[in-house]
Amino acid sequence: MSKVYLLLFLCISLLSNAQDITKEQRMQWFEDAKLGIFIHWGIYSVNGTSESWAFYNGHVSHTDYMKQIEGFTAEKWSPVNWATLIKESGAQYTVITTKHHDGVALWGTKFGNSNMLHNSPAKRDLITPFSKAIREQGLKLGVYYSLIDWSYPDYPNFTRKQKRYENDSSRFAKFTKYNLGQIKELGKFKPDLYWFDGDWEQSAERWKAIEIREMILESNPNAIINSRLRGYGDYATPEQGVPIHKPNGRYWELCLTMNDSWGYYPTDTSYKSVNQVIRIFVDVISKGGNLLLDIGPKADGTIPEEQVAILKGLGRWTKKHKEAIYGSRAGLPADYFNGYSAISKDSTTLYLYLDNQPTGEVLVKGLLNKVKRAYVVGSAKEISTQVLGKLSWSKAPGLLYINLPENLQDQDVTVIALELEGTVKLYNQISGVQTDSD
Ligand code: GLC
């Protein structure tokens, strides 16, 4: 290798190392957070239609859909109450729709034709007081921003059946100026997280994904960006389906509705129960991800009671089990424990989430560490463990049985903590038989 190439190679590897470290540092709070609350608030809550898709899919005309803005009052809205409730749920961050695919901005933007300050009877910039209330609770702020704006006169797509134009670079340039202008403006709220959506309609080049990413990181080097920027983001965002397998990549977040709708949709009553939400949550934690659980407030600014009840129920559980949630990392592979589990950041405490009532002792296989102490999280009561089947001639660690008294069980998901001697070590031989080659 010539000296020039060697120098170039060294520079590149130094640079990429620097970037890795930066990403890790930027992502740290996110990786530890585990729970966020998503908020879909917009004019669609006035008639309880589906957010933006109602006109795109032709269920109502665009004119009728947009008329909903006349009913958006936010008259009973208390950003402080929202922030308090979000905090009570145990969430560490929130992501609010600042503009959905319908193009209505929730803040008093200088760009575009429709926002809540200038065009709705609410006559308010909603993001300013919300971000203040969120910060006062010590929570991180995320801004959802739809790259798509189906209402903007210079955006090519209007509805599923109607396009404004196919190729018109000067019209698309007008749209781009508007979009980039709004994204830059959002910087005044100092978002910790930018949550883009709708990237599927254009290429990275057309969206100017690289420029957007650079613009954000220039104004706030600590900001993090979700993946829906044509791959120029920091973490994956599976939607609705709880992943069967741990998604690829270190950072991910499942966004999930409580019923089947993102926004307020009173006829949709298929709510998950508190218990079901908690069990989904532990599934997500056990795979090392975050849950971004959605609420859809009403146009007057109140949150539907079913949603309040879920946030409070979740809050009861997260408060009791906080040590087994925040900062935890993905747990044991399924072959070792028949359930969900996580490990503390320092890898010395194993958390077993029991999402059903055991009929006998709880079993962990293949754990090479000795257990220093076992207890039920939230009760601080020690419980007994027993290792059976540990044979002197075999390297297999035997079977670890944990005795869980019924009176210590949680009404939703009981969590057992196992404090280990040293960092977790798992036995992974195919068979416990010692051979000559061992
Ligand atoms: C989808 C939908 C959108 C919703 C979002 C939330 O991209 O288009 O309506 O806001 O998912 O993840």
pLDDT tens readout for residues 388-414: 999 999 999 999 999 999 999 999 999
Residues 6+ apart with CB under 8 A from 359: none
Half-sphere exposure of 186 (CA within 13 A, CB side): 28
* Whether the predicted pLDDT of 34 surpasses 50: yes
Q: Rounded to an integer, what distance in angstroms lies between the CA atom of residue 159 and that of residue 322?
A: 45
Residues lining ligand 1, judged by CB closer than 6 Å? 40, 51, 197, 239, 255, 262
Contact partners, residue 59, CB within 8 Å, separation at least 6: 49, 50, 53
| pLDDT at site 436 | 47
Q: Exposed, middle or buried: residue 291 (CB in 10 Å: 0-12, 13-18, 19+)?
A: buried
Q: How far is the CA of 408 from the centre of ligand 1 (A)?
A: 40
d(C-alpha 175, C-alpha 146), whole Å: 13
Helix or strand or coil: residue 142? strand
Q: Which tens digits make up the pLDDT trace of 151-165?
A: 999 999 999 999 999
Closest protein CA for atom 10 of ligand 1: 262
Q: What are the residue ranges spanned by the domains of the chain?
A: 27-320, 329-436
Higher pLDDT, 186 or 10: 186
In sequence order, what DSSP letters do the residues of 235-279 get, joined into one string? BB--BSSPPSSPPSSS-BEEEE-SSS-SS--TT---PPPHHHHHH
Question: What mean pLDDT do residues 61-77 have?
Answer: 98
Please tell me the distance between residue 248's alpha carbon and the centre of ligand 1 in angstroms. Answer: 21
> Distance between CA 169 and CA 174 in Å, rounded?
9
Question: Which atom of ligand 1 has the smallest separation from the CA of 197?
Answer: 7
Task: Tell me, in angstroms, the distance from the centre of ligand 1 to residue 251's CA.
Answer: 20
pLDDT tens, position by position, 211-266 = 999 999 999 999 999 999 999 999 999 999 889 998 888 999 999 999 999 999 99
CA of 197 to the centre of ligand 1 (A): 7
> What's the gap in Å between 317 CA and the centre of ligand 1?
28
Residue type (1 letter), 104: V
Q: Give the span between the Cα atoms of 27 and 225, in whole angstroms.
A: 10
Q: How many CB atoms lie within 10 A of CB 392?
A: 4
Q: Among 93-102, 147-156, 171-180, 426-435, where is mean pLDDT lowest?
A: 426-435
Q: In angstroms, how far is CA 3 from the centroid of its own chain?
A: 46
The neighbouring-strand residues paired with 226 are 235
Q: Which atom of ligand 1 is nearest to the CA of 53?
A: 9
CB burial string 315-343: b at 16+ within 10 A, e below: bbbbebbeebbbbbbebbeeebbebbbbb
Single pTM value for the model: 0.93
Asked if residues 264 and 44 have their Cβ atoms less than 8 Å apart, the reply is: yes
Of 332, 353, 334, nearest to 244 (Cα)?
Answer: 334
Give the least confident one: 14-23, 288-297, 312-321: 14-23
Name the CATH superfamily for 27-320: Glycosidases (3.20.20.80)
Q: Which CATH superfamily is domain 329-436 in?
A: Golgi alpha-mannosidase II (2.60.40.1180)
Contact predicate 318/326, CB 8 Å: no
Token pair in block for residue 8: 């170039």
Q: Which of 262, 268, 290, 292 to mutate to test the pocket of ligand 1 (most atoms within 8 A of CB)?
A: 262
**Per-residue model confidence (pLDDT) at position 7:** 52
Query: Rounded distance, CA 168 to CA 171, Å?
Result: 6
